Structure 1
Amino acid sequence: MSVVRVAYVAGFTLAAIACFFSLRRVSRVTDPDTRRGLGALLGLSGLWGVTHVGRLLPVSPGVQITFYVAGLVVGLATIGAWLYFCSAYTGHDHHRRPWIRRTALGLYLGIISIKITNPLHEFYFTTTTTTRPFAHVVIELGTIHWIVTGLSYALAAIGFYLLYEMLSSSKSDARVLGVLVATTALPIIFYLLTLLDTGGLITIHYEPLGVAVFAVGVLYFVNEQFTAIPRFWRTQIIDGIDEAIVVTDDSGHVRDYNRRALAIFPTLQSCEGTPLSAAVPSLACAAEEGGEIITVGESGADTERYLYVTKTPLTQVDMVVGQAVVCADVTDLERQRQQLKRQNEQLDRQNEQLDAFADAITHELRNTLTIAMGYFEMIAEERPEQGIGNDEAVETIKETHERMEHIVTDLARLARRGQTIDETEECTLDSVAADAFTDVGPDELSLRNCEGVSLRADRSLLLELLSTVVRFADLNGASELAVESGESVLTVTTDGEPIPADDIEDVFAYGEAKPSAQTGMLFPTKRAIASSHGWTVDIDPTYSEGVRIEIGGVELLPATE
């Protein structure tokens, strides 16, 4: 057998084996469309190589022609697989568009029908034999062949353009991968050289050799770069996102970034392959922690921005190949948060000052009342023979002192109860109402309590609230107080003196002596305690048989056994 024949047969046999063997590593490609396209390209290229081997073997011309026609059918299908792979690998969706797929299928079926039926019309090719450089069938190409070949190369060029666009736009070092892509185009040059009758080559398609080199190269030598570049390159995706995005490999080196990231971090310019910790140290530190907020721009100026930094791992199969660092601009939210924080701190200081003020005033007033009451009692004890202790004026002074003591207590309570409570507990309503009744100890007031109802509240504050209600009923001349519950409402009804509808708003106002001087602070205190729970307190203006107080927004619960 001729040495040249052996070289050709060995070359295409090795190419076919390489393509078929590389199929086992296609599963490493994570993108399903790219995986399908590459698998089809390798399988069809390997089969195309087998048809070349059959044509080059020392067999009869008829068998060689049969392998040649089979090669024409498979070779045209390889163009479709090439375009599918290039479209998927470069992040486009051309391979998914129905009209393109239908047009390609129709064109393919039309062309192969001409190829298969060539023995009948010989419009595509005719054959002769030659012994240069070894005995084989020579294909004399017809006009239709050149039209189909030109169309095939034009379609293949589209795939090369997509790959060139991707590689030239990638911020990664893609030189090796670019060389491998170029090897798939070199066989076209060899084929064109055979048409010049150089004498050293036979007229045959050499594409399976180029695809074999490409397959072995990308799947065995630059596999990581092959799978990583499209993920990092797709700027039409990351540039379309408002957030700044920086993509690094698994060792923390910058692989890609979008325009937004470059505008915020100018030091990223030309830093591909540089550790992120060297390019933008603050971003690298925040990305390492995750969920951190960093500040960029001049502090205190309009250019100051707050960025919330998160990271997302990029995986290939079960292996992490990099991460995407995403910076969301939260400047407005952060400024609002800081403003709220300052307001809360200011409110806390004011509350502390109010508490201190209330304590000081309460202490001074009570001391003064205690001193005055002590002197009064001393005078009453020293002059009993004059009946001063039973004198009407003395009783008035005593009652006035007691009233002032209640006022001081109510004012101190009111100053402290305007704040929202943090914790509540389950309280049994009838138990708290009974304790409030006991604490006040009215002489001529009976309690008709509510049973079987519980609610969530601060028990001490609820006790104070109901105590103010009992005190009001006692001072308002009531003989009965009824505690009832409805849907999210507590109702306390007394049979004392009704409050005119026109005076209801004044009853809740500070400093108003309504409905009487003795009860003036009780209703503001009720509303303050209720507000701290998120409740409301109102008086029913339609109730004319006494006073009905409604506490709304209460979280009622079934009573526990």
Structure 2
Amino acid sequence: MESLLSGSPSRAIYVVVFGLAAVACVASLRRARRIDDADTRRGLEWFLLLSGGWAAAHVAYLLAPSTRLSLTAYLVGLTVGFAAVGAWLYFCSAYTGRSLHEDATYRRAAVVVFVFVVGLKLTNPLHGLYFTATPTATPFPHLAVEHSLLHWASMGLAYALSAVGFFMLFELFTQVGHDTRPLAVLVSLTGLPLVFDIVGTASPRFIDMTYEPIGVALFSVGTLFLFFERFQTVRLAGNVDSPVVFLDEDDEIRDSNAPARQLFPNLDDAVGEPLEEALPAVAERLASDDNVLELSRDGESRYYMVATNPFTFGNTRVGRMLLFTDVTQTERYRQEIERQNERLGRFASVVSHDLRNPLSVAHGRIELEQERQATENENLTAAADALDRMGRLIEDVLTLAQAGDDIDDRQPVSLSSIAERAWETVDADGGDLRIESDVTVEADPERLRQALENLFRNSVEHAGPDVVATVGGLDDETGFYVEDDGPGIPPYLREQAFEWGVSGEGGSGLGLAIVETIVKGHGWEITVEESAKGGARFEVTGVRA
């Protein structure tokens, strides 16, 4: 081998070029194994391996010590090279999200075409229609190959099949609005060796052989090292119709799809710029707890939820992907509900304040009149009771309006401790609170106390001041219960118990509605059953212990 290389510099150039192509393909296999998608990885690995094998076969063809071995190496190269077309199509189908590579019909057709073409190549010594091989000494001793009709027909078929894969890639790039020029440059590498094929046929300065392994090797390695990360961004962007922006590990703009550039026109010239400079409003949203971005488009405000996900190449994080989802309708509805709750809260405060003053005056006058009269006046007593009931009703209305607010201040609290605090506010002389078991729940302490107070008051209203209320955790550890020994709630009224205005005699009809509002504000559920002593039993489930 050394004598051949030293005596023939031109041969050395050929060997080095094809050898480097083979080594580059094989060396790239390690990086290709880091591709996440199994089918895409498998297709690209085989494409690299077969491309490298084709180039290696040409090295063997150039260095073979005999005509027979040189011819065998060349035939192996032709076979492996045509097989690379199948690997390329497999990769393109998997990468673009198609299922052609999994279709049994297409697979069988591919095998038939491959066997037929390879059969024509291998039987060339019998028909001589593919190529003729003649030993020659120009420009150095080698086996000169003169290609015939079947070779050019086979090459045309290979390029036609490869074009199908190129079309898949260009279609995907176009769909996501990605620049196709870099892909076009990369694809052109596969056609460049065809020029040398033609020149080799017409000029003695180049040996007459197939030069495609060089271009295919450059393309396969370039696909992996130069553009695969860009291919990956295109594939991710192609899976969604929403705007997508890709950042590198330094949070600089790396890429984007067409919807994102429509949403942010300055992205066209923002590649390489830090996110905080190119899209300061987006950077501000990502740095805050509120991930909803407000943008003015065509004279109206639109809202987009900004989600961020790590962007990896294999197991290596190379940046992150920003996904913008249009949530305009949802956000407008949320804002409207927020405004309604705010108006309701203001209304309840104003009403309760304006009613309390005249109620206080009326209550004071009744007390003065009762003190002035020597005997108890039933009419004044009834009026005082009615005023007390109106006062409780006002308090319940205000509490119900406030109970609709979001539950944010959650912390682990002891159910028994909150229940004891709530019981102290209930007018239940002669009654008793029993704690069967204690549980620690994640809740807003004040809101939970309000709910328990209303449950206890409901028991007093229906069972009397000597009621016995019991609190404990459920056996399946999914929540807790509050029950009493009163008359209970009839089965036909249990589904209506939490509706507004449903009450026994003397109640406001809002107490249990307040309880349900607070419970659901925590994300829990409440139901009413019958206690062991025939009273009412309220079970709260879905509680995080």
Per the normalisation by structure 1, the TM-score is 0.70
Q: Could you say if the C-alpha distance between residues 248 and 525 of structure 1 is closer, same or farther in structure 2, counting changes exceeding 3 Å? A: same
State the SS of the aligned residue for 2:145. Answer: strand
Q: Could you say if the C-alpha distance between residues 311 and 415 of structure 1 is closer, same or farther in structure 2, counting changes exceeding 3 Å? A: same
Correspondence 1:512-527 to 2 at 5 A: 523-525=505-507, 527=509
CA-based RMSD of the aligned residues comes to 4.4
Aligned partner (choices 402, 405, 408) of residue 381 of structure 2: 402
How much does 1:398 deviate?
3.4
How much does 1:452 deviate?
11
Correspondence 1:82-481 to 2 at 5 A: 82-89=88-95, 93-161=99-167, 179=185, 181-196=187-202, 198-214=203-219, 223=225, 225-234=226-235, 237=238, 241=241, 243-289=242-288, 291-297=290-296, 303-377=300-374, 394=375, 397-418=376-397, 419-420=399-400, 436=428, 438=430, 458=451, 460-462=453-455, 464-469=457-462
How much does 1:204 deviate?
0.9
What is aligned with 2:444? Answer: none
Residues 306, 323 of structure 2: 8 Å contact kept:
yes
- Stretch deviating more after TM superposition (244-253 or 209-218): 209-218
Residues 487, 535 of structure 2: 8 Å contact kept:
no
What is aligned with 1:36? Answer: 42
What is aligned with 2:63? Answer: 57
How far does the alpha carbon of each residue in 1:494-544 deviate from its partner, in whole angstroms, 9 at most, with x for none? 9xxxxxxxxxxxxx999xxxxxxxxxx982525343443349xxxxxxxxx
State the SS of the aligned residue for 2:33. Answer: helix
Residues 169, 233 of structure 1: 8 Å contact kept:
no
User: What amino acid is aligned across from residue 229 of structure 2 in structure 1?
Assistant: A
Distance 1:159 1:211 in 2: 14
How much does 1:209 deviate?
2.5
The question of 1:68 aligning with 2:74 is answered yes
State the SS of the aligned residue for 1:322. Answer: strand
Residues 55, 65 of structure 1: 8 Å contact kept:
yes
Distance 1:58 1:556 in 2: 85
What is aligned with 2:515? Answer: 533
Distance 2:13 2:117 in 1: 31
Residues 29, 227 of structure 1: 8 Å contact kept:
no
Alignment length (residue pairs): 472
Q: Could you say if the C-alpha distance between residues 158 and 192 of structure 1 is closer, same or farther in structure 2, counting changes exceeding 3 Å? A: farther
State the SS of the aligned residue for 1:525. Answer: coil
Residues 305, 325 of structure 2: 8 Å contact kept:
yes
User: What amino acid is aligned across from residue 367 of structure 1 in structure 2?
Assistant: G
Residues 36, 313 of structure 2: 8 Å contact kept:
yes
Residues 41, 78 of structure 1: 8 Å contact kept:
yes
Distance 2:195 2:287 in 1: 50
State the SS of the aligned residue for 1:304. Answer: strand
Residues 453, 556 of structure 1: 8 Å contact kept:
no
The question of 1:27 aligning with 2:11 is answered no
Distance 2:427 2:289 in 1: 53
How far does the alpha carbon of each residue in 1:422-479 deviate from its partner, in whole angstroms, 9 at most, with x for none? 6996779xx99x984749xxxxxxxxx999999998565455445545789xxxxxxx
State the SS of the aligned residue for 1:286. Answer: helix
State the SS of the aligned residue for 2:309. Answer: strand
Q: Could you say if the C-alpha distance between residues 186 and 166 of structure 1 is closer, same or farther in structure 2, counting changes exceeding 3 Å? A: farther
Residues 172, 234 of structure 2: 8 Å contact kept:
yes
Distance 1:55 1:131 in 2: 15
Q: Could you say if the C-alpha distance between residues 70 and 314 of structure 1 is closer, same or farther in structure 2, counting changes exceeding 3 Å? A: same
Q: Could you say if the C-alpha distance between residues 21 and 264 of structure 1 is closer, same or farther in structure 2, counting changes exceeding 3 Å? A: closer
User: What amino acid is aligned across from residue 372 of structure 1 in structure 2?
Assistant: E
Distance 1:276 1:188 in 2: 44
Residues 170, 233 of structure 1: 8 Å contact kept:
yes
How much does 1:109 deviate?
1.0
User: What amino acid is aligned across from residue 403 of structure 1 in structure 2?
Assistant: A
How much does 1:371 deviate?
2.0
Q: Could you say if the C-alpha distance between residues 337 and 556 of structure 1 is closer, same or farther in structure 2, counting changes exceeding 3 Å? A: closer
Distance 1:47 1:454 in 2: 75
Distance 1:471 1:489 in 2: 14
Residues 276, 282 of structure 2: 8 Å contact kept:
yes
Q: Could you say if the C-alpha distance between residues 77 and 529 of structure 1 is closer, same or farther in structure 2, counting changes exceeding 3 Å? A: closer
User: What amino acid is aligned across from residue 35 of structure 1 in structure 2?
Assistant: R
Residues 36, 314 of structure 2: 8 Å contact kept:
yes
Distance 2:156 2:367 in 1: 113
User: What amino acid is aligned across from residue 515 of structure 2 in structure 1?
Assistant: H
State the SS of the aligned residue for 2:69. Answer: helix
Residues 78, 121 of structure 2: 8 Å contact kept:
yes
Distance 2:299 2:42 in 1: 51
How much does 1:306 deviate?
2.0
Residues 389, 508 of structure 2: 8 Å contact kept:
no
The question of 1:6 aligning with 2:3 is answered no
How much does 1:293 deviate?
1.8
How much does 1:413 deviate?
2.0
Distance 2:88 2:329 in 1: 49
State the SS of the aligned residue for 1:252. Answer: coil
Per the normalisation by structure 2, the TM-score is 0.71
